[in-house]
Amino acid sequence: MNTIKLLILTGLITISSAGVMAVPVKSHTLSKGDLLDKIKGGWAGQVIGCTYGGPTEFKWNGTMIGEDILIPWDDSRMEWYYKNSPGLYDDVYMDLTFVEVFDKHGLDAPDSLHAKAFANAGYSLWHANQAARYNILNGIMPPASGHWKNNPHADDIDFQIEADFAGLMAPGMVNTAAEIGWRIGHIMNYGDGVYGGIYVAALYALAFVNDDLEFIVEEALKTIPSQSEYFQCISDVIKCYRENPSDWKKAWFEAQKKWTSDKGCPDGVFRPYNIDAKINGAYIVIGLLYGQGDFGATIDISTRCGYDSDCNPANAAGILGTMHGYNKIPDYWKRGIEKVEDLDFAHTKMSLNHVYETGLRHALEVIKRNGGNISGEAVKINYQTPVCVPYEKSFEGLYPVDRKGLGIQLTQKNKEVIVNFSGSGFVVTGRAGKANHLKDEILEMEVIVDGNLTEVAKIPTNGRLRRNDLTWNYDLKEGKHTVTLKAKYIPDGYRIETVDVIEYSQNDPGKRVYY
């Protein structure tokens, strides 16, 4: 293992010493005004792309949004979402949580502060973020909070949608962006889930200093291990584009055929739903490549690919907005943005106008820490040649083989649910519930596997604090198993609802022989 990989892996590099990672081959100079314009373009692009895709999010799962379907756009769209559905911008205010920590505690703020900030924030979370929040609030800190054995959503999109800040604060410094992403991404993700965020951050960093989209898409990919599925998925998209740069639907179809079988996320296994980082990352790249620099075409294509169709165009539009700069985003797409630029995002004390200036301060400090120079209005950036981060893989040697409905409630009266299965791992999905008049409680159930108590699971009824999945275990010996869920603390009027059990095996079902 080379020194750079070792330093990343052991967490010895901080932003203050990120120059250790830098491999400067040339410098790039731009004015402070141009740097600010690009930072503004990145943040504004996210909001525009997210707003455009907002009404389509997860309504087209496994199918593209036809071009005959009108997606509305006018000067009231952003203001309406800000005031009526501010949760749409979860990918932006999650970014801002980390920006605020850096701003309050400095660029050397430890990962634990970032973890605690988002775990204790007032906003709702989902998937890997929510699983990490639960872990952190229950004493499992990063990187363990994002590890797949503690977080069944480890490969999900979460860090990919909220990694924009890492690239925006590291202009032209792709390895610095990757280092920031590696540390913060492991709060909530692992493996491909972290790679998605690092790739997005690298795309942003490169967009400051290069306007060749094909180069940026390929160059950023050099930060990702080639043996990872994330790398292979994005490489397939690039190959499709080279073979036929005018047909994005063919690239979409090829990605669908090969990369949409979800392995980890309990919400997507054996279902036409996919919030996995790599397939949604493919949609970002499809938008960037086939949009060919046109702002509207880029966000429209990324949106029409489906699945997480607000976050994907947000990433794509942010990257393109960084490349072109705020002033060159077409007026059509900036319609109404002036109405929201002074409004704070939900659960933050930051507006777009605030983050524009904050982002410039952070970027200038990171530039100086990495050997750059600010002289008057001239900003000299030490460009970095990409270095690949370490390889890691979630759900190694595990294959989902079955999903069965349970639909049984644990209550004060019905104290036991028994699940029998064959394999080497399982996830039981479900939730806590209560009568409306009752206060929130933290319910408890014993999890007994093959007669051995493996955990006492705490299941909060409060949705913000919830355990995303009731219980799981990926470390069983291949064979027949009995899982018993036993009520430990469930007062009258409360319940733990089991929904499904997902079964895993060490035997790859894809290698079956058919006669």
The 3-state DSSP class for residue 293 equals coil
Residue 277 shares a structural domain with residue 338: yes
Over the stretch 461-507, which tens digit does the pLDDT of each residue have? 999 999 999 999 999 999 999 999 999 999 999 999 999 999 999 99
Mean pLDDT value across residues 290-301:
98
Q: Looking at the domain assignment, is residue 266 inside a domain?
A: yes
170: containing domain: 3-9+37-384
Q: Looking at the domain assignment, is residue 29 inside a domain?
A: no
Over the stretch 248-275, which tens digit does the pLDDT of each residue have? 999 999 999 999 989 999 999 999 999 9
8 confidence band (pLDDT: 50, 70, 90): very low
Number of domains in the chain: 2
Residue 249 shares a structural domain with residue 339: yes
Residue 161 shares a structural domain with residue 279: yes
Q: Looking at the domain assignment, is residue 20 inside a domain?
A: no
What single-letter amino acid sits at 322?
T
Over the stretch 156-178, which tens digit does the pLDDT of each residue have? 999 999 999 999 999 999 999 99
Size (the chain), residues: 515
Q: Looking at the domain assignment, is residue 454 inside a domain?
A: yes
End-to-end CA distance of the chain: 45
Among candidates 407, 447, 432, which has minimal Cα distance to 490?
432
Last residue of a domain, one of 339, 356, 384: 384
Mean pLDDT value across residues 233-243:
98
Two tokens at 204?
A: 């942003």
Among candidates 100, 85, 99, 98, which has minimal Cα distance to 50?
85
Residue 323 shares a structural domain with residue 245: yes
Residue 424 shares a structural domain with residue 336: no
Return the CATH number at 116: 1.10.4080.10
pTM above 0.75, yes or no: yes
* Per-residue model confidence (pLDDT) at position 7: 38
Q: Looking at the domain assignment, is residue 136 inside a domain?
A: yes
Q: Looking at the domain assignment, is residue 466 inside a domain?
A: yes
Residue 379 shares a structural domain with residue 406: no
Return the CATH number at 481: 2.60.120.260
* Per-residue model confidence (pLDDT) at position 512: 57
Q: DSSP readout, 404-465? A: EE---EE-SS--EEEEEEEESEEEEEEEEEE-TTSPP-EEEEEEEETTEEEEEEEEESSGGG
Residue 323 shares a structural domain with residue 425: no
What share of the chain has pLDDT > 70, as a percent? 94
Over the stretch 371-414, which tens digit does the pLDDT of each residue have? 999 999 999 999 999 999 999 999 999 999 999 999 999 999 99
Residue 311 shares a structural domain with residue 430: no
Residue 270 shares a structural domain with residue 357: yes
Q: Looking at the domain assignment, is residue 17 inside a domain?
A: no
Residue 191 shares a structural domain with residue 241: yes
Mean predicted lDDT score pLDDT of the chain: 94
23 has a pLDDT exceeding 90: no
Over the stretch 332-382, which tens digit does the pLDDT of each residue have? 999 999 999 999 999 999 999 999 999 999 999 999 999 999 999 999 999
Cα–Cα dist 352/342, whole Å: 6
Last residue of a domain, one of 361, 384, 407: 384
The residue written with tokens 């009995």 in the block is 482
Residue 269 shares a structural domain with residue 337: yes
* Per-residue model confidence (pLDDT) at position 21: 42
Sheet of strand 378-384: strand arrangement = 24-31, 378-384, 373-375
Q: Looking at the domain assignment, is residue 247 inside a domain?
A: yes
Q: Are 500 and 402 in contact (CB under 8 A)?
A: no
Residue 345 shares a structural domain with residue 425: no
Last residue of a domain, one of 357, 384, 411: 384
Among candidates 378, 345, 277, 300, which has minimal Cα distance to 27?
378
20 has a pLDDT exceeding 80: no
Mean pLDDT value across residues 294-299:
98
Over the stretch 430-468, which tens digit does the pLDDT of each residue have? 999 999 999 999 999 999 999 999 999 999 999 999 999
11 has a pLDDT exceeding 60: no
